[in-house]
Chains A and B, each alone.
Chain A
Amino acid sequence: MSAAYHCPNPPAPPASPSAARAMEAMRLGQFRDAIKLFKQLVKEEGKDWLDGLAQAYAARARELAAKEMYEDAQILLENTAATDGAVRDPLLYVHCLVKRGQHQKAAEHALKYVGTDKLAAAEAARMGEVAAALSLVTPRRRDAAVDPHSERGRWLEQAAAARLALAAWLEGKPYEEIDPLLRRISMRSDFKAVRLILKALITAPLDANRARQLMDPIAPQSPFAALRFAVEAALATPQSEHLRSCSAASGPERSFFLQVNGLSESGCQSLGEFVKAENSGPGSLFAYLIKQADQERADDIKKACLSLLPRAPDRLPRFEKSFGPLSAFDKSRVLALAAEARRDWDAAERHWRAAAASLETMGAPANLALGVIYRHLAHLAGAHDGIDVELDDAAVDYLESSLRSDHNHLPTALKLIAHYRAKNRLGDWGRLVEQVLACFPDEAAVLLAAVAWAAHAGDLDRAIGHAHKLLLLDPINPAVRKRMIELRMLLARQKMRANRPDLAEQEIAEASKLELPEAPSSPLRISAALIALGRAGSAAAVARLREAVHLAGGDVCAWVQASLEHLLMGSTGDGSVLRRGIKEAQKTPPTKEAILSVAAAVDGNAARDHGAAVASLVRGMRRWLLKGATLAWSADEVRPVVAMLRQAEAYQELGAYAKQGLARNQRGGMWHVYRLVAETKGNAGVLCEDDVEDLAEIADTAAQDGRLNDARLIWSFLDSADDRESAKDTATDAEGPLDELISNIITASLARISPEEVARLIAKHGEAKATKIVAGKLEKSTAGAILPAEKLREFAQEMVQRVMAEIARPPTAKEDQPWQQH
Chain B
Amino acid sequence: MEALEVGSAEAALARARRGDSEAFRELVERHSRTVFRLAFRMTGNEHDAEDVVQESFLRAYKQLGRFESRANFGTWLYRITANCAVDLMRSRQARHDVSRGESLDGDIHQPTAEAPGPDRIAQSAEIEATVQNALGGLSPLERAAFTLRHYEGRSIDEIATTLGLGTSAAKHSVFRAVKKLRLALEPLRASGG
Q: Do A and B bind each other?
A: no
Which residues of B are in contact with A by a Cβ distance under 8 Å? none
Which residues of A are in contact with B by a Cβ distance under 8 Å? none
